[in-house]
A and B are shown apart, each in its own frame.
Chain A
Amino acid sequence: MDSSGLDSSGLGVRRAVGFVAPALVLIGVFLVFPALWTLYIGITNYQLTGPAAANPRVVGLDNVVNAVRDPLFTNSVWLTALFVLGSAVIGQNVLGFGLAWLLRTVRPVLRRTVEGLVLLSWILPGTVVAYLWFAVLSRDTGTLGMLLGSPRTAWLVQYPMTSLIIFNVWRGTAFSMLLYTSALAAVPPSQLETARLAGASGWQTVRDVVFPHIRGHVLTNTLLISLWTANDFTPFLLTAGGPNHRSEVLPVLIYRQALESGQLGYASAMSMLLLVGNLVIALVYLRLLRRRA
């Protein structure tokens, strides 16, 4: 290796930096700069209309203080926590692992088919799946109500959060399933065989033999699906936050505050808080991951 920094592949530092720079510039313009701008708007009283639209004033942390005192915001935080915990951390995780574990033993053809069917719900456009669920769950014409013999139950109105959680489990389980399928392939079969011969139950096998091998996968998966769920905007298409804010998760609240109420500064401050929430989730995850090493 000489002074120009040539490495094993003859790439060199200068060319390496040149390779990475264009991607960094694009991300800087479209992701980092907007994020910083949001931070700035969050400390102003910027509004869509009215006097504050022309001349926004810096109000410091007033927006944050107001948000924390705002019952709509705290309500939203709880709903988001419920949504993440119920549909991602528990729902998608458990069902995804269950499916991966189940499909391990079945015939390859069947396995591929079921994987494909589950994958379907993950790759379809959000607009399409939201419409499908809306049609299946709506009051008078909904197929589910008809099949259950309760045509008068408006699922999205009477049980908005439960519907959203079940929807999101259906929507997102494919990712966990695929990730756990590849994780399970890395567990040595000999250890599973030993566990079976020792008479271990299914649960004991999972806990004592499988889990230690896939701990890293479980954590990575939980982090990713938690972040995706916390930032997911699809609930807006299903319930638009209603009825009466009962399913207003944070991204929906922020969208409505910004575009329906025109409180741009306030909405940006709430985005900031959501970002902080994401960072906290990520830090907890890194902590847990490090403990493994």
Chain B
Amino acid sequence: MRRIWGVAAWFCGILFFLPVAWMVLTSLHSESDAATNPPSLAAPLTFDGYAEFFDAGAWPPLINSFSASIGSTIIVLLLAIPAAYALSIKPVEKWTDVLFFFLSTKMMPVVAALLPIYLIAQFAGMLDNISFLTLLYCSMNLPIAVWLMRSFLSEVPREILEAASIDGAGLITILRRIVAPVAMPGIAATALICFIFSWNELLFARVLTGVVAGTAPVYLTGFVTSQGLFLAKVCAAAVVVSLPVLIAGFAAQDKLVQGLSLGAVK
């Protein structure tokens, strides 16, 4: 019985993996081998597709994506950690209303905010500007970050906080010595989730950026349109654009699991 479940588990995993396997395999083929259908497993492997992708000017959009994702993740953490701490300590009554307000903004269809945000960017003279996109990603990730962080910070035992406070420890000491060690895995998980969400965002990047501030996903959509016939090259591009989130995801698979399930349920 156990064996059957094991086989079934493998089968499901492989089924989910197939399109990705196809992408990685095709990206390592020469264009003529990539054109065969179904893809040949025996064909020689080459990095030509990758070389051509980088030669085609892939660096600026990749750098844009990195600055928007990393920048917004850092700002989100700087804003979300104090906010979540204050919310989990609950010095004010009706604090849960604030929390629900945070969460409720996640129910808004993003497409509904598209036009006003475009007009704001236009008004501020910040169309095609990566700083604007960074700030926008901050606000989009803040609700979920506060929500996640709060559930991690509620794990800090209240009695220890009280004991430290009575012993005369100040706020900074409490945060550094008691809260930080318990909350570190949560902070890491939140950061990775924010990074992945910002890196993958397409709708706003597509509408708000142009030649200067275009991000990697935007560049990839253009690349698919213009180079669609060159399967190997496009697959190489797709692998490169996926790589940062894949690394982020697998660096913290367990934390990701913990973070998602905690944040969603509590």
Which residues of A pack against B, CB within 8 Å? 5-13, 15-17, 19-20, 22-24, 26-27, 29-35, 37-38, 41, 99, 102-103, 105-107, 110-121, 123-129, 131-133, 135-136, 141-143, 146-147, 170, 173, 175, 178-179, 181-183, 216-217, 220-221, 224, 227, 230-231, 233, 237, 250-251, 254-255, 258-259, 264, 267-268, 271-272, 274-275, 278-279, 282
Contact = CB atoms under 8 A, between A and B. Distances in A.
Contacts of B250: 116
Residue picked from A22, A107, A216, most chain B C-beta under 10 Å: A22
B11 to A, nearest CB: 9
Nearest to B163: A8
Contact of A120 (B17, B37, B221, B224): B17
Contacts of B107: 227, 275, 278-279, 282
B12 A114 contact: yes
Given A12-B91, A35-B112, A255-B111, A116 B9 contact: no
9 contacts: A23-B142, A35-B113, A123-B245, A124-B245, A127-B224, A143-B39, A250-B109, A255-B111, A274-B111
B22 to A, nearest CB: 6
B6 A110 contact: yes
Contact of B140 (A31, A103, A117): A31
Contacts of A99: 9, 12
A119 B254 CA distance: 11
A132 B19 contact: yes
B9 A268 contact: no
Contacts of B116: 33-35, 37-38, 41
A125 B115 contact: no
Chain B contact residues: over half helix, strand or loop, or mixed? helix
Nearest to B80: A23
Contact of B220 (A107, A131, A179): A131
B231 interface: yes
B109 A114 contact: no
Contacts of A27: 102, 105, 139, 142-143
B174 A10 contact: yes
Contact of A118 (B12, B98, B114, B203): B12
B91 A123 contact: no
Residue picked from A11, A13, A41, most chain B C-beta under 10 Å: A11
B91 A16 contact: yes
Given A27-B139, A233-B111, A278-B109, A181 B261 contact: yes
Nearest to B178: A9
Nearest to A170: B16
A8 B207 CA distance: 47
Nearest to B165: A10
Interface of B: 2, 5-6, 8-10, 12-14, 16-17, 19-20, 22-23, 35, 37-39, 79-80, 82-83, 85-87, 89-92, 98, 102, 104-117, 119-120, 135-136, 138-140, 142-143, 146, 158, 161-162, 165, 169-171, 174, 196, 199-200, 202-203, 207, 216-217, 220-221, 224, 231, 234, 238, 241-242, 245-246, 248-250, 253, 256-258, 260-262, 264-265
A26 B174 contact: no
Nearest to A141: B37
A271 B10 contact: no
A274 B110 CA distance: 11
A217 B80 contact: no
B37 A254 contact: no
Contact of B113 (A17, A38, A217): A38
Contact of B86 (A20, A142, A170, A279): A20
Residue picked from A10, A16, A23, A126, most chain B C-beta under 10 Å: A23
B257 A115 contact: yes
A282 B108 CA distance: 11
B115 A264 contact: yes
Contacts of A124: 20, 200, 242, 245-246
B208 to A, nearest CB: 12
B120 A34 contact: yes
B37 A119 contact: no
B28 to A, nearest CB: 15
Contact of A258 (B2, B20, B114, B196): B114
Contacts of A11: 85-86, 89, 91, 171
Nearest to A254: B111
A118 B221 contact: no
Contacts of A41: 115-116
Contacts of B200: 123-126
A102 B202 contact: no
Given A106-B5, A132-B23, A275-B112, A224 B264 contact: yes
A281 to B, nearest CB: 8
A149 to B, nearest CB: 11
Nearest to B20: A120
Contact of B265 (A32, A117, A217, A258): A217
Given A10-B165, A26-B138, A282-B107, 15 more contacts: A7-B89, A10-B169, A11-B86, A26-B139, A31-B139, A102-B12, A110-B10, A114-B9, A141-B35, A233-B111, A233-B203, A254-B109, A258-B114, A275-B109, A275-B112
